[in-house]
Amino acid sequence: MRHGQRGEYAVRCVEDAFHDRELEALLGQRRALIVVSPTVERILGSRIHDAFGSGTGRVLCIRSSSGETGKTFSAVETICRGALALRLDRRGVIVAIGGGVCCDLVTVAASLYRRGVLHARIPTTLVGQIDAGLGAKGAVNFAGRKNALGCYHPPKLVLLDRALLRSLPLEEIRCGIAEIIKMALASDPELFEAVETHLGVLLASRFQAPDGAAQQVTEVAARRMLEALQGNLFEDRSLRRTVDAGHTFSPALEAASGFALRHGEAVAIDLALCAVISKRLGLLASGECERVLRLIDSAGLPIYSGDFTEDLARTALQEAIAHRGGRLHLPLFQEIGRVSFLESVAAVDHEIASALEELSNWHTSAVAVS
């Protein structure tokens, strides 16, 4: 998959990201800083040092707290300090090997360091490989707000290596599935069916099996994401984006939990709420809504959280309007695979309480059954 327009870049599925010819060619001509997350350092550190660590201090582990709480400007500064210590010049490159947080931090650091250097990404999580690692965006959390500061800075190269998912904890796989469900709901009913069919094996094998399906699901999800970004990589064409499905209520929900709720979990709750609102507004058939809730639930993802109050939902709507240039652009579902945007805050507002209650009841009955 080649991607982008201004700032074209390559996104490739590969068998061994640490020994990729295109990456080697990129690094061969430049000074490079390799940035890894603490988890990646622990699990893949020796392989990474073998592959890239020829120059002293070339591999930098971000030692700040991992996960969203570590996605701070101070971590960006750590990366920039590492780049200065390596005397990275303007033609230098920074490589992120890690999850969405690591990719986000490196993207912001690469955009600021000497007013912008190249960067490459090897996402090591499912979320990274089908969502967070693919676009032009980077961000840090600031003043308690998720992604309040950030940039558009397309990578030069993204390598997707499914074998890296083998060592992921199950909850990370689940979070990736939430984003795959989002993409499927937004644009691909067959992808949704494939996840329904193979969910158990995909989850248990961490996307190493079933052979054809695991590959197909990740590649199609990534391709759908890239198609959705295409032509609007810098969000300067439209703020009406199908990929915003699941991303209206989730940022506020994550922040309200102090980032105890993972991004994918918050997305799952957001998707569930939007499915129920879609049904209540007469957009989505009742059986389709039920399929959505069941798939999310079967993946071990939440459809509801006690933190999710009506007030929080309303704050989130206002924040989404601010973020989307003054209009709501709420992605709801007409059917599985087709988004419909709602602009009326009043219409949504009217359904929030009942929808939350419905989810709470569904949740309770699901817990009672299981």
Query: Binding residues for its own copies, per CB under 8 A?
Result: 73, 77, 80-81, 84, 87-91, 111-116, 137, 139, 142-143, 145, 147-152, 235, 239, 321-326
CB 52 → its own copies: shortest distance, Å? 21
DSSP assigned state of 290: H
CB 151 → its own copies: shortest distance, Å? 6
Smaller CB separation from its own copies, 117 or 126: 117
CB 235 → its own copies: shortest distance, Å? 8
Smaller CB separation from its own copies, 111 or 305: 111
| b (16+ CB within 10 A) / e for 154-179 | bbbbbbbbbebbeebeeebbbbbbbb
Smaller CB separation from its own copies, 148 or 347: 148
Distance CA 111, CA 108 (A): 5
DSSP assigned state of 5: B
H or E element that contains 11: strand 9-13
CB 327 → its own copies: shortest distance, Å? 10
Residues 6+ apart with CB under 8 A from 302: 265, 268, 269, 296, 363
Smaller CB separation from its own copies, 322 or 369: 322
Smaller CB separation from its own copies, 2 or 87: 87
CB 6 → its own copies: shortest distance, Å? 8
H or E element that contains 360: helix 345-369
Strand 32-36 to strand 93-98: parallel, antiparallel, or no bridges (unpaired)? parallel
